[in-house]
A = this chain, B = another copy of it.
Amino acid sequence: MQKNKGVLYLIPNVISDNTELSVLNNQIKYYISKINIYFVENIRNARRYIRKVNRDIDIDKIIFISIGKHSKLDINNDFILPIVSGDNVGIISESGLPCIADPGFDIVRVAHDLEIKVVPMVGPSSIFMTLMASGLNGQNFTFHGYLPIDKKELKNKIKQLEYISKKNIQSQIFIETPYRNMKLFQDLIKMCDNETYLCIGAEVTGKEERIITKKIKEWKLLPTPKIHKIPSVFILLS
In the complex, the answer to whether B145 meets A109 with C-beta atoms within 8 Å is no
B129 touches A120 (CB 8 A): yes
* B residues in contact with A159, CB < 8 Å: none
Partner-B contacts on A (CB < 8 A): 10, 21-27, 30, 97-102, 105-106, 108-112, 117-120, 122-125, 128-145, 170, 204-205, 209-214
Q: A112-B214, A128-B97 are in contact. Are A144 and B136 (CB under 8 A)?
A: no
Q: How many of these chains are in the complex?
A: 2
Please state if A133 and B145 are interface contacts (CB–CB under 8 Å).
no
Q: Which residues on B sit within 8 Å (CB–CB) of A101?
A: 138-139
Q: Which residues of B contact A100 (CB under 8 A)?
A: 128, 131-132, 138
Whole-angstrom distance between the alpha carbons of A142 and B119 in the complex? 22
Which chain B residues lie closer than 8 Å to A140 at the CB level?
Answer: 142-145
Q: Do B22 and A136 have beta carbons less than 8 Å apart?
A: no
